Amino acid sequence: MNTAGVYEPETVAAAKSAYEESGPVAQIIVKETTRAMAFDSAEYDERVTGDVVETARDALFASLLTTYHGSREEFESWCEQRSVDEIERLGGKNVENVVWHPVVCQDTVVSASYQHEPEAAAATVRRRAFGRHYREML
C-alpha cells in the first residue's frame, strides 16, 4: 500500500486550519501565474477576484488530501480495521486497484477503483472528497 498527500484532518477544526493555511499559498500561485501570463496591474486588478483566489485555494487543498493506493483486498482490510460509517465507491467492482481518502471527521471513506491510471483515480477521489465533504465544512 502506498500513501500520497499531506492532509488527513481528523476534526473539522483541523480541516479548517489546513484550509486556512493554504490561502496565502493560493494567493502566491495566482500572483505568479498571472505574472507568467504577463498581466499588467490593471488587468490583474480587473480579473483576479476573491473568487479566483478561493478557487485556487480549493484546488490546492483538495490536491493535498492524503490518498492511499492498494489492492482491493488491502482497501477492504483497511476499512474493516477502522470505524467507517459510509464508503463511497466510484469505478468498477472487478478492478484490482483502489485509491481512497478517509474523511475522518465524518467517518466516511471516498474510494475509486483503477486499472492503469492511479493519478487520475487519486484526483477523482480528492475532488469528490472536497466537493461532497470538505466544502460544506469550510
The pLDDT tens digits for 19-77 are 999 999 999 999 999 999 999 999 999 999 999 999 999 999 999 999 999 999 999 99
Residue 23 CA, distance from chain mean position? 15
- Parent domain of 107: 1-138
User: What residue type is 68 in one-letter code?
Assistant: Y
| 83 has a pLDDT exceeding 90 | no
pLDDT, tens only, 111-136: 999 999 999 999 999 999 999 999 99
Q: CA 58 to CA 75: how far, in whole Å? A: 27
